[in-house]
Amino acid sequence: MPAKTQTPDHLLHHLLARLADSLDALPLDTKLASDEPALVSLLLSLPRLPTCAPQIDGRQFQFTRGHGTEIQAGYGCAAEWKSDGPERLDRLAKIATRLHPGWHRADPDQTGFDAFAMLGFAASADAAPHIEDHLPNAILWVPEIGLRIKEGDAVLVLSARLPTARPALMSAWTAALERLVPSLYLPLPGPLMPATLQRDFAEPDFGGWSTLIDDALAEIHGGGLEKVVLSRRLDVTGPRSFDLGRLVGALGCLFPSCQIINLRRNGKSFVAATPERLLARQGSGLKVDAIAGTAPRAESTERDAELSKGLLSCDKNLREHRCVVDAIVEALSDCCDDIAAPPRPRVMQLTNAQHLWSPIEAAPRADANLFRLAERLHPTPATNGQPRERAREWLRVGEPFERGWYTGAAGIVEPDLSGELWVLLRCARVCADRAELYAGAGIVAGSNALSEWDETEAKLQAMLTALQYA
């Protein structure tokens, strides 16, 4: 039967048969030293391209861009490691390094794909107060079933800890496939009629925001800071429970060039539509996005072009952007060679805003894996400020709420410790009919409270618009 006419039942039967055929070849009795992690992953080609990465009950993560043409998603948990504190990424890096030689991957269908894990961490390394539904401070998470879609091909990645018994593994993976596969081919949920959202709580209000701006400018004029990024939180309620599938779909339609992220644990989702890649470490190359400096969009082509031109010539925005570029170059200088930053930024245009953007490239040294690079780069002045430690301490005292995972980072880690991480921006924490939204703006000499408030309103509108249709 041609793949395009196969029903989900036929595809499930095919996958279970391939699973049974492949299981005997896996090293299921592998046992390392007691403190050494060992995993097994089996990659199975999907002969029919899924319609979506579905939202199902339980823990899951999803990274989607390009109208769903590139998806990396994970369901359930084969293994995970949590960490917090100043050494959180170093500890996770040591686990991932020990895991690499003990991660057995089988690709009987010769898909060319590989297994993967999700790495994510909050804005601050300080352990957050315990909240029942809160994400851990930092996590390295290998899903029980992973889904990868790229360039018209798709694969499922089944993973488990070793050692394990064949009957138990067959039973667990069969149950997981039976839960997931039918949902891969459901019709994409369309947007609902737009709903009116109620603004319940804002922190700070405009008065508090103005005071924060004045305090920040005083610190900048006194020479203590060059830049600091201030944030706002907005809580809204909808007339119905938000549908996460529709929310992700709406964000993908509204912001096709952004990475759409959904991290779901303990009944809540942390959702982001971010334009900013913290880093991409692939092979011998490294790419980092420097994004800072913002202008609105306009309906007319002529006015939009004027705003772009003005952004490229605005002294305040250019200084803010140069601060980020210089900090990234400095952070990479002791672990990379051939660092190349463009002499002038270009404009990145999104649906609701346009930003100054400088793509920076470098050649990482041999010991500069994704974890070490993330530690060097995060947080950049685009989300924190400069100098880094002084800005971080100023925000710890001055900002009226804990950011949690907003301005943290999340992404995909390959078994060889390469991968890609994205800064968590344009965010919302969603549960049932409630959502907590976050947005921020960079403050430098020349900033004023009203224009920075308007900038955060435009950034909040990105998620607000999508939530209306979910």
- So which residues are the catalytic ones? 227, 276
Provide the token pair at 432: 């049932």
Q: Which helix (H) or strand (E) holds 436?
A: strand 434-443
Spatial contact of 440 and 408, defined as CB atoms under 8 Å apart: no
Nearest to 288 by CA among 323, 340, 335, 345: 340
The DSSP annotation for 71-113 comes to: EEEEES-SEEEEE-STTHHHHHHHHHHHHGGGEEEE-TT----
Q: Give dist(CA 467, CA 470) in Å, integer.
A: 5
As given in the structure block, the two tokens for residue 344 are 């002038």
Kindly give the pairing relationship between strand 103-106 and strand 39-45. parallel
In DSSP terms, which residues pair with 160 in a beta bridge? 40
Alpha-carbon gap, residue 289 to 324, rounded angstroms: 10
Cβ atoms of 234 and 388 closer than 8 Å: no
Give me Rg for the CA atoms of the chain. Answer: 23
Q: Strand runs (DSSP E) across 268-315, as ranges?
A: 268-274, 277-282, 285-295
β-strand partners of 73: 62, 147
| Contacting residues for 24 by C-beta, under 8 A, at least 6 apart | 166
CA triplet 329, 87, 127: central angle to 5 degrees?
Answer: 110
Strand partners, 234: 202, 437
Placement of tokens 């369309």 in the chain? 190
Q: How far is CA 136 from CA 59, 401, 408, in A?
A: 13, 17, 12
